Chains A and B, each alone.
Chain A
Amino acid sequence: MSKGSGYVSRAMTGGDSQPIVVNEKYYMIPSPTIETIAKVGEALCDEQESKDVRGILYNILHAEAYVKALSRMIIGDDSLVDALLEGTTDEILNGLETGLSMLSIDIWEKVIGFDRERSAGGETAGNATLLGQVATFMENLHLTYNEAYREIPFRNLLVMQKDKLHTVTGTKIKKISGKEMASRRMKKGE
């Protein structure tokens, strides 16, 4: 089976959890929902980017928020904080990076033949916040708030919205192989 089919089936069955290791114990990070992202954001909301040596040292010596964020990413609450405090900073950051990588569909786009379209020129506005995105998912996919926020993983929502059967408003981009492109040029030259 193709790689893309594997991604899709695992995403649908919930088998796309990613393993991480902290203090020689392994934890599974499930595909994050919008609720998880909000909880992680809440944990990290007071953190500042470090710009000097003092800031760097301060962030390294006060990494409770990152541990809390990882606990929320794994289990949805702060119950794993004590266990995760026994891990090193690298392990905690690896875990968070793994969780965040599960929010993107970049890898999917490389192996799945999603249809691409060029917009008709009409401008769009909105989706500046996660709340706006919830509203967009609810409207486009006819979901309840609970389904969009809590039940369906964020990546699944992105793929559902991207791949939903819809009428093309602009123009559909057709994929052409190198051979076809070369033969077209030859014909033009004649």
Chain B
Amino acid sequence: MCGRILTHPFLIMKRFLDSSSFGMETINVGSEVYVVTAPTVGRLIKVGEALGELDEASDIMTILQMVDRENKVKALSFLIAGDESLVNTLSGAEEKEIDKGLATALGFVNISTAPRMNAIIKNVSNLISRPV
């Protein structure tokens, strides 16, 4: 029923397009150039754990600026490599570069994600019990 890898031409084309133009960005951190791709939910969860509690602000860059440098480096390593293997290399970079790298990698998350998440919660909630 599930788990079969698709070889449909559409998916092959999608994969090609993803890797060529839409799903990839390069970021400069320290003296290195890294390629970041659209993060998986698993990676985003690790990033969330690394960043810890977030402070309130009007934009993502300001929120990121308020997070400890060590946590941000760990989060960026998760976004680039999926693990903490790049922490030592990234530690030497300027804070501005780390913030920019994080914002670029998080920028892959679609702008419509938040309203869609809200709509799903609302739909399921209203289905289970009518609000007062």
Contacts and interface: CB of A to CB of B under 8 A. Distances in A.
Interface of A: 21, 23-28, 37-38, 40-41, 44, 47-50, 52-64, 66-67, 69, 74-75, 80, 83-90, 92-93, 96-97, 100, 103, 128-130
Contact of A130 (B106, B118, B122, B129): B129
A130 B130 CA distance: 9
Contacts of A75: 2
A88 B79 CA distance: 13
The binding surface of chain B is classed by DSSP as helix
Given A37-B124, A41-B125, A57-B63, A80 B44 contact: no
Given A56-B114, A100-B123, A103-B127, A86 B2 contact: no
Interface residues of B, number: 45
Contacts of B59: 53
Given A87-B41, A92-B41, A25 B3 contact: yes
A37 B109 CA distance: 27
Instruction: With a 10 A CB-CB cut-off, give which of B39, B63, B122, B128 has the most chain A CB atoms.
Output: B128
Contacts of A23: 40
A32 B118 CA distance: 21
B88 to A, nearest CB: 24
A29 B108 CA distance: 26
Given A49-B121, A62-B45, A129 B5 contact: no
